[in-house]
Chains A and B, each alone.
Chain A
């Protein structure tokens, strides 16, 4: 954690913590997933002054709530976009794509004003804003983003609430 010399003073530690929160919360690391919130600081180590800039680097150990989707995990997500290739859903910061291969065969894509996937009898409909329960079958983790492929082609997976039904 780098800190500018101007922050040195009595409240250095507070500054450090607030900067840590600002910098780290909401980011995503490949190993740990999304850092949702910092819950506590364990220790702040000795600072190391950088040559030339005067910045000081502090090793900070902290505890935080992370969100890391795993393969096989069942999640509930909100559909954000539907197209003929499948649909995208978001569960918090994670974007999940459900390919049409992974949507039950009896659901068909209906284009139109509100693109959706509907069963042949019309009883179940997946459209934007629907909430679905899905299983993650693959994840890809970048430095800044986690992207998942999900499936709803399994028992007990699928739509759990439909915005159309509530309205």
Chain B
């Protein structure tokens, strides 16, 4: 037996030489060697042999511990021609070990007469064993009479390859109980499993899996019915319910496992316990590297009812192959294993697998303690602000709500949703992010068009896909969309009408009054095709977005300071949009009709004035339009700035009084064209937004005709054929929109330009070009009154003249020169007003034609209402009069403005 041990040493030499690191016991288990020596000189030989082996292999022991052995020394140890040779012998598949053991037994029994030196069975080589012997005949002799070994084909292993035979290719896998693995093959391919028992000898492990069993199919099979072959569908993983199986008449046996003593429920050859499938699999069919279980998978392995703590603690083992460098200097950690369990500290230094920590406890004799990285984990306290550094929610930040073992529950900053992540994947951080916010050109909260012509708002950005809340009103429809499935982004700011036909724009605050989202409130993020997306910060689902029809909402406030919002049907809120459009010139406000973007170009190159924001008051030229913002090249500062297009005004119209006059007449034809829209056929609601234009046309305050003629004597040859009420003109109703005309008009600054520009605007609006010279058409409608001086500097007379509004004090000129004071109650659709007589409005209500009405000019310290310009509709107080300008303190904003007296009307004492 001593001799046998010596031979084992030889085999060890080989292994070491091959550079492998198999523990002794493993080596012993794998290699069985027999040494045959003549019985007679055994004693003598033993000594000699011992010496020779020691001499020969003295260095091998050295090599084992000394890494500095040179290549030359290593070479010297390689087998040479004088050494015994290695023969490869075929044997039955799966019987390699058995054959080797049998040969060992034979060597023990037969002693020295068996002239082979060793036998090697390799795990990774099936069908063959290696026998070490000097001659082939010795090999054949030894194998004679044995089963499962086929000596017909004995091959010599070339000397060069001898070392390779015993080289171990992969490192031995150290499988322990509770290790998590993944299945490589079969139905469960890719599934996570947990090792419950390791059988090294049989190269098998018993693993715990979540069964993928179709009970119905199983029942059919067991009852011998025809099983439809539908291998393509792998049943989803689901915990086994034995009772369910019994219902389906599947025979369930309850057996006690011999090894573990636990009870298992057996169905056919499958064993179940607690709903998990226990399966014996070959070690080859599992992979143990790079498992990276997701949180969901682990969660499923948690049995219901089992306390999270214990289970999660055991999960610490599964991080055997978690990536290195998880700990950083300064990390707060807690010891989870060993005597110092629950001790907290800070990481001081990280080496390969050891982490040096500085304990928090005072009075310890040592400065730092070293721990294996498996013994500690990161520690967080509720309230810490952290960032997730890997995993599915990578990049998200939040506040720790609670810590359960290895799992940190945190509340995300942006979504306010709870997240569960492993402590390892989290670091303390003070920054606030939502994780990924954009892929490609699409960003969180963008409105995008999807493949199938549907659209939606991006409510979440995952690593490679977006979650999109689709634009399906009143039913939250969330789709997972990949980058390539998105057709494009919608940049435009839509505009729509709410339940009460009020204008609705992005950033307005609305309340949902119908449908499942009733009662929700928030500001409008996007408007598209009659669907609006509202962001409500109190709404937790879908990142706070609500999708609903525009008609189900009411405006309750908004970005515009103008308090003039009515929930009922009054037309005077409406004028805002035409005003805006004429100022900023974005035809977008007119909804779908102008999507072509023609209007964009119209603004490029136009001189504008910035009326809001940082650059307020600056003048410049529009160089580019992008979405809702424009880039303006400033006159004074030699730079190009980006401003919201609502923040710019067509500066030329405002700047010089001389330009005003011509631009005004140029409007007139437009107004005349508007007029037909008033046609009785049109619903008043629709008219809402147009009413003001009409009003202007009818405005009694417009300049007397002769002054107009002064400006443009040629064009004012009156031709009455374009009476507004002419039936023909009703065709105008079908005309797309005044928008195009409007945008072009402001640029018609010089007197000579107005004529050419007007026709430009006309074609889309007029059925025949005969209308082009129809400029005078405006005439009948502006029957004197007002004066040129009304169009003065800041008069805001910019693009539209004053017109009537409710609650203002007016003089109604009845027949002859008889005038009565009254209060405008309502502006009717045809431009006439219902006026309550007397200054208090207590008298009779009469209907007065616009031509009969004259606005009462306010005096100093009167309450006034602004009836024109950008502030139209606002109320204020006239604090002073300076020539034709009034100094007004506006109620809403408390701003003091200098406005033309013409657009100020005295407010009735309410």
Complex Cα–Cα for A155 and B399 (A): 22
Give chain B nearest CB distance to A86 CB in angstroms. Answer: 7
In contact, A52 and B399 (Cβ under 8 angstroms) = no
Tell which of B401, B417, B432, B894 has the most Cβ of chain A within 10 Å: B401
Take A18-B894, A83-B540, A151-B382 as given contacts and tell me if A102 and B402 are in contact as well, using a CB distance cutoff of 8 Å: yes
Contact of B636 among A52, A85, A100 (CB under 8 A): A52
**A58 beta carbon closer than 8 Å to chain B:** no
In contact, B538 and A149 (Cβ under 8 angstroms) = no
**B519 beta carbon closer than 8 Å to chain A:** no
Give chain B nearest CB distance to A68 CB in angstroms. Answer: 16
In contact, B617 and A101 (Cβ under 8 angstroms) = no
Q: Which of A56-111 contact B (CB under 8 A)?
A: 71, 80-81, 83, 85-86, 88, 97, 99-102
Q: Could you say which of B265-273, B408-416, B745-753 contacts chain A?
A: B408-416
Question: What are the residues of chain A within 8 A of B432 when measuring CB–CB?
Answer: 140, 142
Take A138-B383, A140-B385, A147-B413 as given contacts and tell me if A53 and B615 are in contact as well, using a CB distance cutoff of 8 Å: yes
Complex Cα–Cα for A139 and B385 (A): 8
Contact of A99 among B384, B418, B616, B896 (CB under 8 A): B418
**A32 beta carbon closer than 8 Å to chain B:** no
Give chain A nearest CB distance to B405 CB in angstroms. Answer: 13
**A54 beta carbon closer than 8 Å to chain B:** yes
In contact, A140 and B399 (Cβ under 8 angstroms) = yes
Mask: chain B, 431-445; 1 = CB below 8 Å from A; 0 = not: 010000000000000
Give chain B nearest CB distance to A89 CB in angstroms. Answer: 12
In contact, A53 and B618 (Cβ under 8 angstroms) = yes
**B637 beta carbon closer than 8 Å to chain A:** yes
Complex Cα–Cα for A6 and B898 (A): 10
Mask: chain A, 130-142; 1 = CB below 8 Å from B; 0 = not: 0000001111101
Chain B interface mostly: loop
In contact, A71 and B413 (Cβ under 8 angstroms) = no
Question: What are the residues of chain A within 8 A of B637 when measuring CB–CB?
Answer: 52
Give chain B nearest CB distance to A31 CB in angstroms. Answer: 14
In contact, B411 and A149 (Cβ under 8 angstroms) = yes
Q: Which of B372-423 contact A (CB under 8 A)?
A: 382-385, 399-402, 409, 411, 413, 416-418
Tell which of A88, A100, A138 has the most Cβ of chain B within 10 Å: A138
Contact of B896 among A7, A53, A80 (CB under 8 A): A7
Complex Cα–Cα for A81 and B383 (A): 21
In contact, A85 and B417 (Cβ under 8 angstroms) = yes
Q: Count of A-B contacts with CB under 8 A?
A: 62
Question: What are the residues of chain B within 8 A of A97 when measuring CB–CB?
Answer: 411, 416
Interface residues on A, range: 20 to 34
Complex Cα–Cα for A43 and B615 (A): 28
In contact, B385 and A138 (Cβ under 8 angstroms) = yes
Q: Name the residue on B nearest A50 (C-beta).
A: B614
Question: What are the residues of chain B within 8 A of A80 when measuring CB–CB?
Answer: 538
In contact, B618 and A99 (Cβ under 8 angstroms) = no
Complex Cα–Cα for A138 and B616 (A): 41
Question: What are the residues of chain B within 8 A of A52 when measuring CB–CB?
Answer: 618, 636-637
In contact, A137 and B382 (Cβ under 8 angstroms) = yes
In contact, B409 and A138 (Cβ under 8 angstroms) = no
In contact, A88 and B896 (Cβ under 8 angstroms) = no
In contact, A149 and B617 (Cβ under 8 angstroms) = no
Take A85-B418, A86-B418, A99-B411 as given contacts and tell me if A54 and B383 are in contact as well, using a CB distance cutoff of 8 Å: no
In contact, A88 and B382 (Cβ under 8 angstroms) = no
Give chain A nearest CB distance to B297 CB in angstroms. Answer: 21
Complex Cα–Cα for A80 and B401 (A): 19
Question: What are the residues of chain A within 8 A of B401 when measuring CB–CB?
Answer: 86, 99, 101-102, 149
Complex Cα–Cα for A71 and B400 (A): 13
Question: What are the residues of chain A within 8 A of B618 when measuring CB–CB?
Answer: 52-53
In contact, A101 and B409 (Cβ under 8 angstroms) = yes
Contact of A101 among B402, B538, B616 (CB under 8 A): B402
Contact of B383 among A22, A85, A137 (CB under 8 A): A137
Q: Name the residue on B nearest A88 (C-beta).
A: B538
In contact, A54 and B617 (Cβ under 8 angstroms) = yes
Give chain A nearest CB distance to B521 CB in angstroms. Answer: 13
Question: What are the residues of chain B within 8 A of A137 when measuring CB–CB?
Answer: 382-383
In contact, A81 and B384 (Cβ under 8 angstroms) = no
Complex Cα–Cα for A147 and B412 (A): 11
Mask: chain B, 70-110; 1 = CB below 8 Å from A; 0 = not: 00000000000000000000000000000000000000000
Question: What are the residues of chain A within 8 A of B399 when measuring CB–CB?
Answer: 138-140, 149
Q: Which of A6-61 contact B (CB under 8 A)?
A: 6-7, 18, 22, 52-54
In contact, B538 and A71 (Cβ under 8 angstroms) = no
In contact, B382 and A102 (Cβ under 8 angstroms) = yes
Q: Which of A105-163 contact B (CB under 8 A)?
A: 136-140, 142, 147, 149, 151
Complex Cα–Cα for A99 and B540 (A): 13
In contact, A138 and B894 (Cβ under 8 angstroms) = no
In contact, A6 and B615 (Cβ under 8 angstroms) = no
Mask: chain B, 262-294; 1 = CB below 8 Å from A; 0 = not: 000000000000000000000000000000000
Complex Cα–Cα for A80 and B540 (A): 12
Question: What are the residues of chain B within 8 A of A86 when measuring CB–CB?
Answer: 401, 418
Complex Cα–Cα for A83 and B399 (A): 18
Complex Cα–Cα for A142 and B430 (A): 11
Question: What are the residues of chain A within 8 A of B400 when measuring CB–CB?
Answer: 138
Question: What are the residues of chain B within 8 A of A102 when measuring CB–CB?
Answer: 382, 401-402
Q: Name the residue on A nearest B539 (C-beta).
A: A81
In contact, A149 and B417 (Cβ under 8 angstroms) = no
Q: Name the residue on A nearest B401 (C-beta).
A: A99
Complex Cα–Cα for A85 and B418 (A): 7
Give chain B nearest CB distance to A78 CB in angstroms. Answer: 13
Q: Name the residue on B nearest A148 (C-beta).
A: B399
Question: What are the residues of chain A within 8 A of B538 when measuring CB–CB?
Answer: 80-81, 88
Give chain B nearest CB distance to A25 CB in angstroms. Answer: 15
Question: What are the residues of chain B within 8 A of A71 when measuring CB–CB?
Answer: 383
Take A83-B540, A149-B399 as given contacts and tell me if A99 and B383 are in contact as well, using a CB distance cutoff of 8 Å: no
Tell which of A18, A99, A139 has the most Cβ of chain B within 10 Å: A99
In contact, A99 and B385 (Cβ under 8 angstroms) = no
Complex Cα–Cα for A138 and B617 (A): 44
Q: Name the residue on B nearest A54 (C-beta).
A: B617
In contact, B402 and A99 (Cβ under 8 angstroms) = yes
Complex Cα–Cα for A54 and B385 (A): 44
Tell which of B382, B400, B615 has the most Cβ of chain A within 10 Å: B382
Contact of A140 among B382, B409, B413, B617 (CB under 8 A): B413
Give chain A nearest CB distance to B429 CB in angstroms. Answer: 11
Contact of B382 among A100, A138, A139 (CB under 8 A): A138
In contact, B540 and A149 (Cβ under 8 angstroms) = no
Give chain B nearest CB distance to A103 CB in angstroms. Answer: 10
Question: What are the residues of chain A within 8 A of B418 when measuring CB–CB?
Answer: 85-86, 99-101
Contact of B409 among A54, A81, A99 (CB under 8 A): A99
Tell which of A71, A83, A97 has the most Cβ of chain B within 10 Å: A97
Question: What are the residues of chain A within 8 A of B383 when measuring CB–CB?
Answer: 71, 136-139, 149
Q: Name the residue on A nearest B400 (C-beta).
A: A138
Complex Cα–Cα for A163 and B413 (A): 30
Q: Which of B493-526 contact A (CB under 8 A)?
A: none
Complex Cα–Cα for A136 and B383 (A): 8
Complex Cα–Cα for A101 and B403 (A): 9
Complex Cα–Cα for A85 and B419 (A): 10
Question: What are the residues of chain B within 8 A of A151 when measuring CB–CB?
Answer: 382
With A102-B402, A140-B385 already in contact, 7 other A-B pairs whose C-beta atoms are closer than 8 Å? A52-B637, A80-B538, A81-B540, A85-B417, A85-B540, A86-B418, A138-B385
Chain B residues at the A interface, C-beta cutoff of 8 Å: 382-385, 399-402, 409, 411, 413, 416-418, 432, 538, 540, 615-618, 636-637, 894, 896
Interchain residue pairs A-B with the least CB separation, the first 3: A138-B383, A101-B402, A137-B383
Chain A residues at the B interface, C-beta cutoff of 8 Å: 6-7, 18, 22, 52-54, 71, 80-81, 83, 85-86, 88, 97, 99-102, 136-140, 142, 147, 149, 151
Task: Give me 15 A-to-B residue pairs in the complex whose CB atoms sit less than 8 angstroms apart, sorted by A's number.
Answer: A22-B894, A53-B618, A54-B617, A85-B417, A85-B540, A88-B416, A88-B538, A99-B401, A99-B402, A99-B418, A102-B401, A139-B399, A140-B432, A142-B432, A151-B382
